Amino acid sequence: FLTATAAYVVQLYLYKCACLKWEEVSIMDEKNIPIRTYQVCNVLEPNQNNWLRTDWIPRSGAQRVYVEVKFTLRDCNSLPGVTGTCKETFNLYYHESNEDRESYIKESSFIKVDTVAADESFTQVDVGDRIMKLNTEVRDVKVTTRKGFYLAFQDVGACIALVSVRVFYKTCPLTVRNLATFPDTITGADTSSLVEVRGSCVNQSEEREEPKMYCGADGEWLVPIGGCLCNPGYEERGGACKACRAGFYKAKSTDPGCAKCPPHSHSLRDGATICDCHAGFFRADTDPPSMACTQPPSAPQQLISVVNETSVVLEWTPPHRLGGRSDTSYNFPRPGSAGGSVSSSQFCAPCGSDVLFSPGQTGLTTTRVVVSELRAHTHYTFIVHARNGVSQASGAGAAQSVSVSVTTNQAAPSPVSSIQATDVTRHSLSLSWQQPDRPNGVILEYEVKFYEKDQRERSYRIMRTFSRSVDVTGLNPLTVYVFHVRARTAAGYGEFSTPFEFSTNSDPFPLIGEGVNSAFLLLSVSGVGILLLISAAVFIISRRRSKYSKTKQDSEEEKHLNPGVKIYVDPFTYEDPDQAIHEFAKEIDVSSIHIEKVIGMGEFGEVCSGRLRVQGKREIYVAIKSLKAGYSDKQRRDFLSEASIMGQFDHPNIIRLEGVVTRCKPLMIITEYMENGSLDAFLRKHDGQFTVIQLVGMLRGIASGMKYLSDMNYVHRDLAARNILVNSNLVCKVSDFGLSRVLEDDPEATGTYLSPGGKIPIRWTAPEAIAYRKFTTASDVWSYGIVMWEVVSYGERPYWDMNNQDVIKAIEEGYRLPAPMDCPVVLHQLMLDCWERDRAERPTFSQILNMLDKLIRNPGTLRRTGGERYLQCTKAKTEISSSKVWSLCEWLQSIGLERYRDTLAAAGYTSLDSLLALTHQIEVEIMNPR
C-alpha cells in the first residue's frame, strides 16, 4: 500500500485490549464533509494506557518511512474540573514484522518513535458547529529488518481525536543527467545517507566516465559524476543523441557536435562520421577528418645542376601547385624503384649505394641537395619527385617529377685509406697500401711522403712509385717515422692519406749499404730544404704582388702536375681544313637528320632545330647550322673551323658537337639542342624570376666551361651572354667558337671600334685587347665579368646607351659598371676583380670557380646587396655620360670604389675634375698603392 509519492491514509484498528477506550466517531470537517476519527478522552481517570494500532503496512523496499499524523488535542485547562490526571501528548510506536495478520502484539514488542505534542493552541477546539484546529506532525522511522510494520498510538490520559495518518517513503525520481539515465531510486535508511546510483548511457552514446549520482535522504539527486558522449555521427540534442544531418559529420565522440564537411568533401547520408573527398581530392591516413581534402603536388620546377668534379649541387624551386598542403617533400628514387635516379650514358643503371646525398635522398624538405662520391667523367640523370601526404593515396607518379642530366668532371683520386709496413729493419721497411676507394681514373703514380716524427714536416722525403708498395731505405734505427701516400691520375694528385706511423728497430738485417743511404738521406733532406726555401721565397714575393697569386700559383702547380691535360689545336694550323674537320668532328649521314623548324639566323645561314637518330643510340634533339649556298672557300673554311674547334671539347658547360655534314650540301654543323636559346634573350624574358643561387649556378656553369677552355689554352675572345646557350635545366654552355668571326662577324663588333686587326665587341673586351689586341685568358676573364653583370641584371646592355668611344674612355678613366639591382656585394666585387686594369691582377677561371663554389656552399654570403646603390649608379651613368659635375665621393660610391676615397684625398684629389685630369699612369699608381 505504500507508494512513493501518494500518501497513504492508514486504516486504524482499535487495539484489542481489556481497556478499550479509543472510539471511532464520525464528525464533520471544517468544510462540513463528514470524516471518521478515532477519539479518546479519559482525562478524569488516572493511569490511562489506551492503545490504537494500524494494519500491517508492507515496506516495499523502503528503508525509512514517514508518518504524518493529523489530530486535535484538548488543552487540559479548557476542561473544567480536571486535575493532575489530564495529559496533552500521546506516544507513537512501531513494530516490524513479516506477518501481515498478527492479531495480538505485546505492548513491549512496540518500539517508541516519539511523544507527540500539539503545537497549536487548541483551547477552542471542537467539532460540529465549533471551530476545529488540526495539528499535523510528521515523524520518520527506520524500517529495515522485516517485510513490513505496524504503527500504534498510545494515549496516557489526553483528549485526542486522530483525523488522519499518512505513511510514505521518499524516492529520487528517474532523471537524465550528462546523457546518462538514472532510475527512480528509494532514499537511504538514515537521514544523512546517500545512495550511490550508476547511470546508463542513453541510446547512441558511450561512456566517457562512469556516470554516477547520489540519491539524498530527502529525494534530491546530488553530486553528478562522469557521464556519456554521443557516438561518432551523433550529437546531443535535448538530452538525447541525434544523427548528424547530410553535409555534416562528427568524427569522434569527444567532438563538441556535428560540423560542416571541410572543403572539397561531402556527406550524403545522416550520421556521417567522416566526409568523403570530392573526385580528384584525397585525404592522407594521418589527415584529421576536419582537414580539407587535398591533391598531390605538381612537379618541382627549374631544376638546376652545378657540377663540381665528382659532386653535383642540385637545386630546384617548389612545385607550382602544392595541392593545398604544406608537407611537400622531395625524393630521389632509390635504386630499384621506378625511374632509378642515376644512369650511366651507355646503360641506364641505378646509382650505387656509395653515392652520398646530403642532406638526404628521401624526405627532403629543402630544395637543395649535394650529391657526392659520384664517378668521374660519368653521365648521370637525377630525378626529383615531389610528394606530399596524398601522393600515395592518389597514385600519382611521373607527373610529379623532373629530371636533369649531368656529366661529372675529372677528379683527383680519393686518399689512400690504409698503409701497412713489413720487413722492418734498423734502416728500412717495406710499405704497401690498397688502391684508393675512388681512383676516379687510371692511377699513374703514387707519391710517398715521410719524415721522422720528431722532426715533424720540417724535413721530409718524397718517393714515387707505379706500384702499390715501396721499399723505404736509409732510415735511422729505432726511430718513429710518419708516412703519407697519395695517388695521381690524369686529373692530378689526390689528397695525402692520414698519417701512419712506423718505427724502425735495432735488427741489422737485411743490411743495405748504410753509408750510401745516409748520404742520400742527407742530400735529399738538404735538397728538399733548398727547394722549400726557394718555394717560400717565390711564395712570399708573389703574395705581395697579388691577392690572387697564391691560388694562381696553386693552379699553375696543378697544371704542372697534370701533364695529361689536352691542349687545344688551332685548326688553321692544318694546311687542309678538311683534315682538321675529320680529325675532330664526326661525319653524319644526312639521312639520320630530321629538320623541324628554323630557330634563328647565324652568320653563315639559318639555324634550325631537329632530331638526330644515330644507329644504336636513342634519338636526340639537335640544333643544325647550315652554310648558305654560294659560299666562298674562305667562308667554307671559317664555317667548318667552328666545328673543328668545338669537336676538341668535351665538357658539360661547352656546347657539344654531334657532328658535321660535309659530304653533301648544304654543309651542316650539328650540335646538341639548347631549349632556352641564348642566355641574354632568355634572361630578358624571365626578368627577376630567378633566385640569386640560380643565377650564381648559371655563372658557375659558365666559369666551369671557361676554366676548361683556359686549361686547354683556348682563348674565346667573344665571351658574352649572347654566346651562352641555356638548356631546359638552366645549364649554361659556352658556344660560338670561331676565329676570324671573333673580330669580324659578331654583330656587336660591326661598325663599332675598328682595331688595327678587325672589329671588337668593345663592351665585353678588356682594354689591352682593344688597345693592342692582347687576347688572353685574362681578357676572357674581363669578358666573364661583363657576362656576370649581364646575368645579374637579367640581360641589361652593358654601359646602357653609352657609345663605344665613351665606354672606352670611361674604362680608361677608371669607371666600372656599378652593381646591378639586388646584386650581392660579393658578386659585384668579383666583377670588379675581373675588371682590374692590370690583367695579372685579375682572378683566374679556377679562382672564380672556387669563389662561386664557396658562395653556393654558403648562400648567406650572397645576402648582402648594395640595395639602393643601383639608383645612384644609374644616376652616375647618366651623369658621367653627359659629363655633368659629380662629386668625387658620389662617383666613387657609384662605381664601388669608395674604398679609395681616403687614398685619393690624401693624394690631394678631392674633386672629380681633378681626378679626370689624371694621367693613366698616375691613376694606376693611386689605385694600386704598394
Q: Is 600 annotated as a binding residue?
A: yes
Q: Per rule CB under 6 A, is residue 623 in the interface with ligand ACK?
A: yes
Q: Per rule CB under 6 A, is residue 671 in the interface with ligand ACK?
A: yes
Cis, peptide link before residue 929, omega less than 30° from 0: no
Phi, psi (deg, nearest 5) at residue 371? -105, 120
Pick the piece of the chain touching ligand ACK (CB under 6 A) from 329-337, 439-447, 673-681, 905-913.
Answer: 673-681
Q: How far apart (Å, rounded) are the C-alpha atoms in residues 315 and 301?
A: 9
Shortest distance in whole angstroms from residue 853 CB to ligand ACK: 27
Q: Per rule CB under 6 A, is residue 291 in the interface with ligand ACK?
A: no
Question: What residues contact residue 154 under an 8 Å CB cut-off, 6+ apart?
Answer: 49, 50, 51, 90, 91, 92, 93
Phi, psi (deg, nearest 5) at residue 762? -50, -50
Contact criterion met (CB below 8 Å) for 380 and 421: no
By three-state DSSP, how is residue 89 classified? strand
Q: How far apart (Å, rounded) are the C-alpha atoms in residues 788 and 810?
A: 19
Strands (E), 23-174: 23-28, 34-41, 50-54, 57-58, 64-73, 89-97, 111-117, 135-142, 148-155, 159-168, 171-172
Q: Per rule CB under 6 A, is residue 595 in the interface with ligand ACK?
A: no
Pick the piece of the chain touching ligand ACK (CB under 6 A) from 429-437, 668-676, 774-782, 888-896.
Answer: 668-676
Q: Is 552 annotated as a binding residue?
A: no
140 is catalytic: no
Q: Is 625 annotated as a binding residue?
A: yes
Shortest distance in whole angstroms from residue 723 CB to ligand ACK: 9
Q: Per rule CB under 6 A, is residue 608 in the interface with ligand ACK?
A: no
Q: Per rule CB under 6 A, is residue 795 in the interface with ligand ACK?
A: no
Q: How far apart (Å, rounded) are the C-alpha atoms in residues 345 and 422?
A: 43
Q: Indicate the residue among 393 and 681 with the shorter CB distance to ligand ACK.
A: 681
Could you tell me how many residues of this chain bind ligand ACK (CB under 6 A)?
14
Q: Is 605 annotated as a binding residue?
A: yes
Shortest distance in whole angstroms from residue 719 CB to ligand ACK: 16
Residues 11-44 as b/e (b if ≥16 CB within 10 A, e otherwise) read ebeebeeeeebbeeeebeeeeeeeeebbbbbbbe
Q: Per rule CB under 6 A, is residue 678 in the interface with ligand ACK?
A: yes
Q: Indicate the residue among 601 and 917 with the shorter CB distance to ligand ACK.
A: 601
Q: Indicate the residue among 42 and 678 with the shorter CB distance to ligand ACK.
A: 678
Q: How far apart (Å, rounded) are the C-alpha atoms in residues 625 and 605?
A: 7
For cell 674565346, name the residue.
716
Q: What is the Cα Rg of the chain in Å?
A: 54
Q: How far is CA 138 from CA 67, 69, 114, in A?
A: 5, 6, 10
Contact criterion met (CB below 8 Å) for 15 and 22: yes
Q: Is 890 annotated as a binding residue?
A: no
Phi, psi (deg, nearest 5) at residue 586? -90, 135
3-state DSSP percent of the chain in helix, strand and coil, to 5? 25, 30, 45
Q: Which of 638, 718, 736, 745 is catalytic?
A: 718
798-857 binders of ligand ACK (CB under 6 A): none
Q: How far apart (Å, rounded) are the C-alpha atoms in residues 108 and 897?
A: 126
Q: Indicate the residue among 127 and 674 with the shorter CB distance to ligand ACK.
A: 674
Q: Per rule CB under 6 A, is residue 652 in the interface with ligand ACK?
A: no
Q: Which of 248, 673, 690, 900 binds ligand ACK (CB under 6 A)?
A: 673
Residue 333 gets which letter from DSSP?
P
Q: Indicate the residue among 190 and 596 with the shorter CB distance to ligand ACK.
A: 596
Pick the piece of the chain touching ligand ACK (CB under 6 A) from 112-120, 532-540, 594-602, 852-860.
Answer: 594-602
Q: Which of 46, 58, 510, 600 binds ligand ACK (CB under 6 A)?
A: 600
Nearest residue to the partner ligand ACK, using Cβ? 600
Q: How many CB atoms lie within 10 A of CB 719?
A: 27
Q: How far is CA 66 from CA 164, 171, 172, 512, 598, in A?
A: 13, 12, 15, 127, 113
Q: Per rule CB under 6 A, is residue 677 in the interface with ligand ACK?
A: yes
Pick the piece of the chain touching ligand ACK (CB under 6 A) from 51-59, 450-458, 483-491, 676-684.
Answer: 676-684
Q: Is 603 annotated as a binding residue?
A: yes
Q: Is 125 annotated as a binding residue?
A: no
Q: Which of 225, 322, 356, 599 binds ligand ACK (CB under 6 A)?
A: 599
Q: How far apart (Å, rounded) are the C-alpha atoms in residues 886 and 877?
A: 11
Shortest distance in whole angstroms from residue 657 CB to ligand ACK: 10
Q: How far apart (Å, rounded) are the C-alpha atoms in residues 203 and 201?
A: 7
Question: What residues contact residue 401 under an 8 Å CB cut-off, 6+ apart?
Answer: 299, 300, 339, 383, 384, 385, 386
Q: Is 607 annotated as a binding residue?
A: yes
679-698 binders of ligand ACK (CB under 6 A): 681
722-741 binders of ligand ACK (CB under 6 A): 725
Q: How far is CA 302 from CA 321, 695, 839, in A?
A: 14, 12, 36
Q: Which of 232, 602, 652, 866 binds ligand ACK (CB under 6 A)?
A: 602
Shortest distance in whole angstroms from residue 668 CB to ligand ACK: 12
Q: Indicate the residue among 154 and 609 with the shorter CB distance to ligand ACK.
A: 609
Q: Which of 607, 693, 696, 915 binds ligand ACK (CB under 6 A)?
A: 607
Pick the piece of the chain touching ligand ACK (CB under 6 A) from 184-192, 671-679, 699-707, 805-813.
Answer: 671-679
Q: Indicate the residue among 105 and 655 with the shorter CB distance to ligand ACK.
A: 655
Please give the positions annotated as active site. 718
**Residues forming the annotated binding site?**
599-607, 625
- Contact residues toward ligand ACK (CB under 6 A) are 599-602, 607, 623, 655, 671, 673-674, 677-678, 681, 725
Q: Which segments are annotated as binding site for ATP?
A: 599-607, 625
